[in-house]
Amino acid sequence: MYYSRMFFAFLGLILVLSFNSCAIIRPGEVGVKQRFGKLKIGTLKPGLYGINIFTTRMLKVPIRTINMPVTLEKLPSKEGLNVDCELAILFRIKPENAIQVIEQVGLRFGEGIILSVLRSAAADITSHFFAKDLHTSERTNIEKAIAVKMTEILGDRGFVVEAVLLKSIQLPANLSKAIEEKLEAEQQAQTMKFVLDKQRQEADRQKIEAEGIRDAQKIISEGLTELLIKYKSLGVFEKLSTSPNTKVIITDGKAPFLINQDTK
């Protein structure tokens, strides 16, 4: 009985050591072996690896894109105002620089240094723009400029800054009100321009219509010769002669003038 318990205990110990001597590198990571405190040259791709748990430790470095939300307060603007904003930075670690990142930055994988560089770059870039630009098309240019500045500061430390995204901007109350009033005034001006353009188009339409009527009347008046009038009068006399109604007609022989008509 005693030996049986010892056997199962020994078997359990073997199983525990077996599991602990295996390291799994998942997709989106690279592995770096650390033996007696020293990092082994070369990185390991995703997969299952065996290690000596007494001498070796497997360090896992994420190389997928990291989304870090940040809140920055009192960013300076060109006119000297302070702006608060919420943004997100997308960055990743180059696989070939994983060992360098561990040695120079640590196992937090750059969160501290990325945040410090972001604060510095954001303050430097926003100081060259007006506060209102954060709410206009200049916003995209500001985001790109911050990302470029961060890349310059980070240098060859092994980080890739993919994008900086400005999410929420909080301007001073008086400036926000002024921007809203300006936008409202611009919208009213555009509405008035639309109304004036519509009225101008209607006036042009009426002018063209009047010119068409005038030209048509001119053509008709030029075509009404004396012979044509006599010819039309004969046609009228012919119709009157075949009409069953009784009439009194006064005429000078050129044009009939109907003064009475009785219907049966």
Q: What pLDDT does 259 receive?
A: 46
Residue whose entry in the numeric block shows the structure tokens 């650390």: 34
d(C-alpha 132, C-alpha 129), whole Å: 8
d(C-alpha 198, C-alpha 34), whole Å: 76
Question: Per the structure block, which two tokens stand in for 167?
Answer: 């999410």
d(C-alpha 162, C-alpha 6), whole Å: 57
In a domain, 197, yes or no: no
Which positions ≥6 away from 23 have C-beta within 8 Å? Answer: 31, 48, 49, 50, 51, 58
Q: How many domains does the chain have?
A: 3
3-class secondary-structure state, position 2:
helix
One domain, residues 112 and 169: yes
Among 139, 156, 175, residue at a domain's last position: 175
d(C-alpha 77, C-alpha 82), whole Å: 6
One domain, residues 76 and 146: yes
Q: What pLDDT does 156 receive?
A: 87
Q: What pLDDT does 179 receive?
A: 60
d(C-alpha 247, C-alpha 5), whole Å: 140
Q: What pLDDT does 260 receive?
A: 47
Cβ atoms of 161 and 154 within 8 Å: the answer is yes
One domain, residues 143 and 104: yes
One domain, residues 146 and 74: yes
Q: What pLDDT does 19 receive?
A: 46
Parts of the chain with a pLDDT under 50: 13-19, 257-264
One domain, residues 169 and 137: yes
Domain, as residue range, for 237: 226-262
Q: Which of 76, 71, 68 is nearest to 134 (CA)?
A: 76
> CATH no. for residue 139?
3.30.479.30
Question: Per the structure block, which two tokens stand in for 118?
Answer: 């972001």
One domain, residues 57 and 71: no
One domain, residues 29 and 78: no
Measured CA distances, 73 to 123, 147, 169, 185 (Å): 10, 18, 10, 30
One domain, residues 148 and 77: yes
One domain, residues 123 and 47: no
Measured CA distances, 157 to 102, 164, 175, 201 (Å): 10, 18, 40, 64
One domain, residues 158 and 95: yes
In a domain, 193, yes or no: no
Residue whose entry in the numeric block shows the structure tokens 């000297």: 80
One domain, residues 103 and 167: yes
In a domain, 43, yes or no: yes
Q: What pLDDT does 88 receive?
A: 92
